[in-house]
Amino acid sequence: MAEFYDRYVKDAWREPDFDIYKKFSLVGKVGMVTGGGGGIGRNTAAAWAAAGADVALVDIPAAREHIDELAAELAKKFSVRVEPFYCDVSQPEQVEKLRADLVEKMGTIDIAHINAGICMMGDDVDASLEVWNKTVAVNLTGAHLTGQMAQQIMREHGHGGSIIFTSSLSGYNANFIGGGPSPVYTYGATKAAISQLARYMGAALAPYNIRVNTIAPGYVWSGIHEGVMTEQGHDMCLEVVPMKRFGLTGDLQGTLLFLASDASSYITGINIPIDGGYSIY
């Protein structure tokens, strides 16, 4: 038998201490979530904290009071360390300060959910340059800056890691509602770019044992629709969703835990739609 065969364990389940659930544990890991105060971000933080990770909860300085309270609530509920951090991800100098603060207070970053993003009013095919520039600055430049920061910390500390970007169904579909295009012109462009950014990062960082993947949520009831969406608009959205409901933020948590954990140790550079079947069409 060739010697290289010995590298591969074919039946790990035969080992006496085999426990598949241990692969999903994040005990001893430190996670970072940008856009941590939003519906998706805080549910990522909750899933990772429940799995045993300490979490750095990152959001804009204007959200300080909310993030302080949320970090304390998560830490108390899950008996892990959850620390608030404040950063406008579109501003390089703030990201550089965040990097120093993270290393000082958390020690390192093992897993990162690059999730901060905006979708502005007036973002249709006639979007102003102001809408374009602001959306690109936060969604794409911010993703680049914080994703780069996370992988550099992982490489410098030599422990590998997992980075997960938030894309969107709008990044792979020109989604229509009620027979017309959704006003997500610039937003959709940035989300498509994020998926490709993750592929390149996944390829470049694989030798360092850093995995990079993307989730693409569909219509998820994260809180941004409340007070804005009408019942008619709600029903129009669901016309193209085979499961005939909006997703819940909890529907994302399993995938976010999976991609952060050793359960996905041989997965990098992919995009996972979480859209109730929207992408079937």
Active site residues: 168, 187, 191
CA–CA dist 247, 219 (Å, integer): 6
**Torsion-angle region of residue 158: left (phi > 0), alpha (psi -120 to 50) or beta?**
left
DSSP label of 224: T
**Cβ–Cβ under 8 Å, residues 185 and 127:** yes
Question: Strands 111-114 and 180-181, how do they pair?
Answer: unpaired
Residue type, 246: F
CA–CA dist 175, 118 (Å, integer): 17
CA–CA dist 72, 82 (Å, integer): 7
In angstroms, the first-to-last Cα distance of the chain is: 48
Give the list of residues 6+ apart from residue 128 with CB closer than 8 angstroms, or none: 122
Burial tier of 226 (Cβ tally within 10 Å: 0-12, 13-18, 19+):
exposed
CA–CA dist 139, 16 (Å, integer): 47
CA–CA dist 48, 78 (Å, integer): 10
Residue type, 102: L
Structure-derived torsion over alpha carbons of residues 192, 195, 197, 200, reported in degrees to the nearest 10:
-130
